[in-house]
Every structure is written in C-alpha cells, then in structure tokens.
Structure 1
C-alpha cells in the first residue's frame, strides 16, 4: 500500500507542476496590457510603465515564472495586482465556501446515485425506465438553467430558501441551510444523473456473474447479496465517475456562484480573469489542481480498499 500511495503522490505532484507551468505560459500570452487594464484608459504611458515595473511585468517570462514558482513552493503566491492583498488571504475564505458546496454536492450525488441506481438495477420494469428518463433529463439540462429555475420557483415564488447570498455554517447552521440548499441542488443534479447510470450499469453487470447465482443457491437473501456483495463490487467504476464529477462540479461552481451571488472561487475567478490578476488566477489554478489530486488520491485509496487488485495496477 505504501508504494501505491507513493506512486499516486508523485503523479499528483508532476501533474501540478505541468498544469501550473502551462497556465502561467497561457496567462502570459493572453493577459494583454495588464498595467493598462488596472489603471484604466485615462492613465498616461508613464504611469502604465511605472505600474508595469512595480508588478515586475518588465522582467523576462522565465524570471517572472521562477520568482512565482520559488515563492509558491514556500506557500507564498504573491500579492494580488488588483487589491494589493496577499493571494493567500484573497483565497482563504473563498476556498472554504466553494469547497463546502462542492463536497456537499458530491455527497448528495453519491447517496442519490446509490439509491436510484440500486433501485433501477434491482427492480427493473417501470422503475428502471422512469429513473433512466429522469437521469437523462438531469444530465442534459445545463446547471445554470437549473439554478435559475430554483431561484425563480423555489426561492422567489415559494419562499422556502434564500435566493442570493451565503451564510457560513460556523456563523449559523440554519442560515447556511437557507443559503446553501439551492446551490448544492443545482450542482448535484448532473452528478446524480451521471453516477446513477454508472451504478445501474455496473450492478446489472455484477448480477449476471456466477458468484451471484452461487450466493443465491446458498440461501442468502436478495437484499444481503445486493448490498453486501454486488454493490461493493460495482462501486469501483462508479467511484471513477464520481471523481470526474468532482472536477466538473468545481467548474460548475463558477456559474452557480454567479447566479446565487455566493462569494466563492467562482466569482473570484471571473473578476480576476476580467482584470488580468495573474497572481490570483495562478493561486486558483494551484488550489484547484491540489483539490483534484487530493480527491483522486482518496478515490484510489477507497478503490484499493474495496478491490486489492487496484494496488497492483
């Protein structure tokens, strides 16, 4: 298990280095005149040149990247060009907001997919067909449309939850429920739809295998066979889809947070991109990749626990 974890960690570190390097190069190519964007169109050429020198934009690309990389290795991602605040402070509160929503959406997706996928594979008939149709619709409808429909009908018309804003669970749990249920739902719909189909397909494949008939001949109940054997063996492919859904939900949070006016990474990404705030964007890139690597490592460990053969792959 130790070698298995070591290989995964080295792979994650390599991925982080490659993506951060590529992101820095792309930002350098596409950022344009950052100093002019920050100062506005009325700034003089002298002011723009002074601002560029202040930000280090007059340095060669490799020098700027090396300075950023050596700082990032020590946890220093620099200072925001727009707010002049340390990037770690800018990201601090927003990472927890987005991560709370995404993790909650992943949990809802996993639980909903297990229930619906197991029901579809075990019952068949109209239950299976209904769940497949609903899953197809859930996967096809864009997340921003679901978010707007929830705001219009559930928040505004029915008044069950808050339409905009965000309350941290540490401040008020009931307030967090009021502000988080709708964004989590908007994020989780596509996840439930995608993972349900995977759970259903994997369970149907498992139920056709010889060991299931052997267990039935030994007198084990259908419920015991499904939940103690079939579901466990079918979990590995579903976990892979769930890991991909986590990445997709991080991207979906950008739009959902805009709709619900939530101060998370999504809104920060949009505003930083518009102003060309490279240090903040790079901080977001690194944090996002680290989260993806951590989730994939966790999924690999769960798969290795469920199926020891995974450790040898």
Structure 2
C-alpha cells in the first residue's frame, strides 16, 4: 500500500509540474503582449520594451519558468504587476473562501450523488428514468443560470439568504453559513447530475454480478444487499468518480464566486486575467492544479485501500 501511494504521489508531482509548465509557456510566450496589456494601447514601443525588460519578459521562457519554479519551491510566487504585493500573500488571503465553498460543495455532491445513484440503479423503471431526466436537466443548465435563479427566488424575492458578499467564519459563523448557502447550492446542483449518473452506472454494474444474484437466492433482504455488499463494492469506482468531479467543481467555483462576489480564488483569477496581472494568474492556476492533483491522489489511495486489486496495477 505504501509503495502504491508513493508511486501515485510521484506521478502526481510530475503531472502538476507538466501542467504548470504548459500553462506557464502559454501565458508567458509573448512578453511584449503582456507589457503592452499593462501599459495600454497608447504606449510606445520603447516603453513596452522597457517594461518587458524590467520584468524579465524578454528572456527565454525556459529561463523564466526555471526562476518561477525555484521561487515556488521557496514559497515565493513573485509580485503583482499592478500592486507590487507578494503573490503568495494575495493568493493565500483568498484560499479560505474557496476551500470552504469547495469542501462543502464536495461533501454534498458526494452524499447526494451516491443516494441518487443508488436509488436510480435499484429502483429501475419509471423512477430510474425520472431521476435520469432530472440529472440531465441539472447538467444541461449552466451553473451561472442556476445561481441567478437562486438569487432571484431566495435572496431577492424571499429574502432568506444574502444575494452577494462573504462574512468570515471567525467574525460570525451564522452569517458565514448564510453567505455560502446559495453559492454551495448552485455548485452542487450543477455537479450532482453527472456524478449521480456515473455512480448509478457503478452500482448497476455491481448489481449484475453473480454474487448479488446468489445473495438474493439465499433470501437476504434487498436493503442489506444494497448497503452491505453493493455499496461497498461500488464505493471504489464511486470515489474515483468523485475525484474526477473536482475538475467540474473547480470550474463551477470560478464562475460562482464571480456571480456572488465572493473574495476567493475564482474571483481573483477572473479579475487578474482581465487586468493581465500574469504573476497573480499563475499563482491562482497553481492553487487549482494542486487542489485537483491532491484530491485525485487521495481518491486513488482510498480506492486502493478499498480494492486490493488496484494496488497490483
């Protein structure tokens, strides 16, 4: 088990490094364009070249990446082009908001997708078709549309939840929960559909195995078969499904934070991208890469703990 975990961890590090390098090359491949975006269209070529040289944007991309990676390993992500503030401080100040939104959304997505997937696979017939149709509608509707509808119904009309803004947990736990309620709901509604359908497929696959038919022939109660045997065997694929859903959740968080004006990584990414503050953008991208890689690594390890056959691959 330890060898498997170490092997997967090494692969995850290489994956994070590769994605970071590809993103860095795409972002920093044209230093002149970055400098002109900072100065504006009225800047002269001499001013653009001077700014590019000041920030080292006229050097080879590989050299810039090497220096950036060296700084990352020391906890230094550079400084903002606009404010001069350390990128590490800018990003870490936004992390608690995003982690709270993402963590709560992942929890509810896991619980609801498992329950809906099991119910759909076990019930069959019209109930299965109804749940699939609901999941399809939830998947088809963009998350920002869901967010706007929730704001109109529950914030503007009913005035139950705040429409925008964020209250830190240490300031007021009750208002913190209220400020995250609608954003979490919007993310979960958009992500639980595909997750429940994939979990349904895993449960149906287990239900069709010979040992389930044997258990039924022995007269064991259906509820015991589902929750003691089927769910445990489907848990491994279910964990992998939820690990992959982190990509969907991260995409939803980026949009939802913008809609609800939450001061998180997603809102920061959008704002700094529009400004062309590339060091901050790279800091946000690095955070997203680390979250996705760590969650999928954890999913692989949990799946290996549940299913010993995985460790032999």
TM bucket, shorter chain: over 0.9
CA deviation after TM superposition for structure 1 residue 163, in Å = 0.5
Q: Is the 8 A contact 1:108 1:188 kept in 2?
A: yes
Q: Cα distance 1:32–1:275, how it changes in 2: closer, same or farther (>3 A)?
A: farther
Match in the other structure for 1:153? 153
State the SS of the aligned residue for 1:33: helix
What is the rounded CA distance, in whole Å, between the counterparts of 1:31 and 1:121 in structure 2? 54
Match in the other structure for 1:88? 88
Does the alignment pair 1:275 with 2:267?
A: no
CA deviation after TM superposition for structure 1 residue 287, in Å = 1.4
Deviations 1:98-151 (A, max 9, x none): 121112111111111122122222233332222111111111111111111111
Q: How many residues align?
A: 313
CA deviation after TM superposition for structure 1 residue 290, in Å = 1.1
* TM-score for the superposition, normalised by structure 2: 0.93
What is the rounded CA distance, in whole Å, between the counterparts of 2:95 and 2:30 in structure 1? 25
Q: Is the 8 A contact 1:106 1:191 kept in 2?
A: no
Counterpart mapping for 1:218-297 below 5 A: 218-297=218-297
Counterpart mapping for 1:23-102 below 5 A: 23-29=23-29, 32-41=32-41, 47-102=47-102
What is the rounded CA distance, in whole Å, between the counterparts of 2:68 and 2:173 in structure 1? 38
Match in the other structure for 2:118? 118
Q: Is the 8 A contact 2:156 2:163 kept in 1?
A: yes
Does the alignment pair 1:4 with 2:31?
A: no
What is the rounded CA distance, in whole Å, between the counterparts of 2:59 and 2:25 in structure 1? 14
Structure 1, unmatched stretches of 5+, are: none
The range that moved more, 166-175 or 132-141, is 166-175
Q: Is the 8 A contact 1:34 1:275 kept in 2?
A: no
What is the rounded CA distance, in whole Å, between the counterparts of 1:99 and 1:249 in structure 2? 11
Match in the other structure for 1:139? 139
The CA RMSD over aligned residues, in Å, is 1.9
Q: Is the 8 A contact 1:110 1:242 kept in 2?
A: yes
What is the rounded CA distance, in whole Å, between the counterparts of 1:230 and 1:31 in structure 2? 55
